[in-house]
Amino acid sequence: MNKRRQQGVTLIEVLVAVLITATGVLGAAAMQLNAVKFNQASTTRSTAVFLANDLSDRMRANRADALVGRYDLAIDDDAPTGTEIYKVDIQDWLQEIARRLPAGDASIARDNNNFTITIQWDESRLSKTREVGAGDNQTFVFQTRL
């Protein structure tokens, strides 16, 4: 009689084990996807730091033009046209920003020999991980003195 009561218990145990395993695998997959997203966000931030340093080095190499305001740039300005060194520097720099950062843009502000380089880009793919109303734009601000 005891054997008859035990029939079917193994099937329930197997179903519970499959459910627990499936939940664990889905959790691990979600964790891996988040890790990839945050790794990409970290790479994007590192790129912004690299690009800000690149421009500050270009301005140091062409210090005279930088100090008279030829590198000044508003956030929505287009790249200048021409073949002067400062114009080519800004053209190349804005092209790299557009190529490496999603919806990237930048500005350069001067106060005497203090410069503020602001780089912004879109990180809407991470909007679910932010506080409500935080927006999708990320901004990196770099200050330097020539």
pTM: 0.75
With a cut of 90, say whether residue 128 has pLDDT above it.
Answer: no
* Better-predicted residue by pLDDT, 81 or 6: 81
Give, as one character, the DSSP assignment of residue 138: E
Determine the pLDDT at residue 133: 63
Say if CB 48 and CB 135 are below 8 A apart: no
Least confidently predicted of 49-53, 93-97, 135-139: 135-139
| Angle formed at CA 55 by CA 134 and CA 76, multiple of 5 degrees | 50
Cβ burial of 108 (10 Å; 0-12, 13-18, 19+) is buried
pLDDT at 2 (0 to 100): 57
Tell me if residue 140 falls in helix, strand or coil. strand
pLDDT band at 6 (very low <50, low <70, confident <90, very high): low
